[in-house]
Amino acid sequence: MRGAGNGNSGSGVDFANMLKPAITKGTIKVIASTTWDEFYESFEKDRALMRRFYKISVDEPTPEVTKQILRGLADRFNDFHDVSITDEAIVTSVDLATRYITDRKNPDKSIDILDAACAKQRVLGNTDAVITKEMIMEQIERLAKVSLDNVVNDPSSKIKNLEINMKQYVHGQDNVIDEVLDHLYVSYAGMSSENRPMGSFLMLGKSGTGKTETAKQLAKNLDMPLIKYDMSEYGEKHTVSSLIGPPPGYVGFGEGSLGGGRLINDLSKNPHSILLFDEVEKAHPDIFNIFLQLLDEGRVTGSNGKEVNAKNCIIIMTSIWVHRIVKRT
| Digit-coded pLDDT (tens) for 191-234 | 778 789 999 999 998 888 999 999 999 999 888 899 999 999 99
pLDDT category of residue 11 using cuts at 50, 70 and 90:
very low
For 63-144, give the CATH class: mainly alpha
Q: Are 323 and 193 in contact (CB under 8 A)?
A: no
pLDDT tens, residue by residue, 129-160 = 999 999 999 999 888 877 766 666 544 556 77
User: pLDDT higher for 246 or 310?
Assistant: 310
pLDDT of amino acid 254: 60
- CA dihedral sign, ordered 256, 259, 264, 266: positive
Q: How confident is the model at residue 258 (pLDDT cuts 50, 70, 90)?
A: very low
pLDDT at 174: 92
**pLDDT in the model for residue 250:** 66
* pLDDT of amino acid 303: 83
What pLDDT, on the 0 to 100 scale, is given for residue 306? 84
The answer on pLDDT for 275 being more than 50 is yes
Distance CA 303, CA 246 (A): 6
Over residues 93-99, mean pLDDT: 92
The reported pLDDT for the residue numbered 139 is 94
Averaged pLDDT for residues 52-57? 88
The fold adopted by the segment(s) 157-328 is Rossmann fold (3.40.50)
Measured CA to CA, the distance from residue 21 to residue 39 in angstroms comes to 21
Instruction: State the pLDDT at residue 304.
Output: 80
Average pLDDT, the chain: 85
Q: Residue 240, class by beta-carbon neighbours within 10 Å (0-12 exposed, 13-18 middle, 19+ buried)? A: buried
Q: pLDDT tens across 101-124, in order?
A: 888 899 999 999 999 999 999 999
Residues of the chain with CATH 3.40.50.300: 157-328
- Of 28 and 189, the structure prediction assigns the larger pLDDT to 28
Q: Which residues of the chain form CATH 1.10.8.60?
A: 63-144
State mean pLDDT over 308-315: 92
pLDDT digits (tens, 9 = 90+) for 162-190: 889 899 999 889 999 999 999 988 887 77
Residue 307 exposure: Cα atoms within 13 Å on the Cβ side? 9
Nearest-Å Rg of the Cα atoms of the chain is 24
- Helices 87-100 and 63-81, interaxial angle, to 10°? 120
- Closest by CA to 170, choosing from 159, 154, 160, 181, is 181
Asked if the model's pLDDT at residue 80 lies above 70, the reply is yes
Average the pLDDT over each of 117-121, 258-262, 321-325 and give the range with the smallest value.
321-325
